[in-house]
Structure 1
């Protein structure tokens, strides 16, 4: 049974529309989380809002919203003023265009949602929109209002349903030039690139998220379980970082050797063993011919 819907509305493509529901596609429910507690009593702590200048505790009825114009200078925005600019949801996912999926910059992808038909009567229209998108191999761009904010959503077929991913706006992305402009362009030899390419080939695989392992999360769960059972927690010895500096080419060679060195050594050993057996058989045949001739 599907969980409670996060959003209900209508998916609209021109004159074709159908009722749909949205479900968050991700969850943090399984993440290990900690609360702040009082070491002496073991009770959970509550946070309070403190005036940064006076140090006084601020009660809930004294709290307001303000935008910082300059350091320490704020303009207060009243709740009713904020409501004046909030967008009222019309509960419609209005598809505006279709774009090739490869044109969507991965940095714009934000939060994913599962989109399903809301009720049996919506299945036919939902299937028509979904299957048409499959045939065209394009991603729909639509507008939707979530939590009083307008979002652009990329929608694509996923199994029997649709996957809708909200997109970031351009002002939310940092310009890569400010991070990449200072990267030098050194002269790299062709041998280095080819050697790195060989390493890439040895690690070639297919995308399989089932193989992802959150080792830190597993360690946290084990730590909590061990601590709760009253067992002693043994702190690991700090790892020593290697201080020696080796050349890039040596590092590439060692990386390749570490990956395929055993296989290479095994092949070399097999070749040597085969060579010895061949040599022994040849010596045996030569001796036999000499005895026959004599």
Structure 2
């Protein structure tokens, strides 16, 4: 697994050399844009709209726009000095908190942490202490010239670092338009909704969810790659009808879930079989 960051993390007087490895991967299928006439990939150039010419990288500077078309230019050396000053600081766990105290809206990206040279014992100590206490660590780290707030927690047998947003990066729900005020809901409607939730409640099994669009797109690409002229469109999933009667919609949903016990049972059997294989 590729190491994308090396450094150390500390709590109190304990210092742990660590390496970061990206814990997730983006599996989106990337499509290129081609010139329709000759199928040549389209390139993107940095062009100045005033000079009407392409600008080379060495002639590009960074600046902050503090007002419309008003900029403060920042030298490369100034930015480098700020970055270096921050990177020289140790990554320190600031606080220990409970994971449930942090709303998921704050979470950004996950990184596995592995011990650096000579760091195995301290790494194990932090892992065991977090597991025993049921707490997670809150820390700051510089990644790619950007200061990040992060949490450190135990995942399986590894330490996991998850970068999280700073509070001022999370927008207020009050900015969201058209959120309804509290609306009177009848007890019957609420009870029916709760029944539907109960019928759809299950144990979270991540392996049963997949990206149906990505799978269909890859099938289409493979079919065209083989030179076949026709392809079979994926079966269209039924969409929710525009039912104005809330009770009718809830009852229809409940009736629908009652007709699918076999699928859930099959899913549980597959999960059980998978678990047996893993433990074998």
TM range (shorter): 0.7 to 0.9
Alignment partner, residue 113 of structure 2: 115
Are the structure 2 counterparts of residues 180 and 216 from structure 1 closer, same or farther at C-alpha, using a change threshold of 3 Å?
same
The reply on whether 1:178 has 2:178 as its aligned counterpart is: no
Match of 2:39, SS state, is: coil
Aligned equivalents of 2:256, 2:127: Cα separation in 1: 48
Aligned equivalents of 1:240, 1:157: Cα separation in 2: 40
Show CA shifts across 1:115-162 (max 9, x none): 11124x322221111111111100111122211222221001122220
Greater mean deviation of Cα atoms: 209-218 or 37-46: 37-46
Alignment partner, residue 186 of structure 2: 189
Contact map agreement 2:108 2:164 (CA 8 A) in 1: yes
Q: Find the partner of 2:136 among 134, 139, 151.
A: 139
Shift >6 Å, 4+ stretches: 237-244
Q: TM-score by structure 2 length?
A: 0.82
Match of 2:176, SS state, is: helix
Matching of residues 1-294 of structure 1 within 5 Å: 3-28=1-26, 30-53=27-50, 55-86=52-83, 87-90=85-88, 92-119=90-117, 121-179=118-176, 182-233=179-230, 245-260=243-258
Show CA shifts across 1:245-283 (max 9, x none): 4411111111112222688xxxxxxxxxxxxxxxxxxxx
Match of 1:42, SS state, is: coil
Aligned equivalents of 1:148, 1:190: Cα separation in 2: 54
Aligned equivalents of 2:238, 2:94: Cα separation in 1: 57
Greater mean deviation of Cα atoms: 164-173 or 181-190: 181-190
Aligned-pair CA distance for 1:57 = 2.6
Higher Rg of the two aligned structures = 1
Match of 1:225, SS state, is: helix
Aligned equivalents of 2:37, 2:243: Cα separation in 1: 49
Contact map agreement 1:24 1:114 (CA 8 A) in 2: yes
Structure 2: gaps of 5 or more residues: 262-280
Contact map agreement 2:16 2:119 (CA 8 A) in 1: yes
Report the aligned-residue RMSD: 2.7
Aligned equivalents of 2:160, 2:236: Cα separation in 1: 45
Show CA shifts across 1:39-85 (max 9, x none): 23322221111223454332333322222233333333222232343
Aligned residues: 259
Match of 2:202, SS state, is: coil
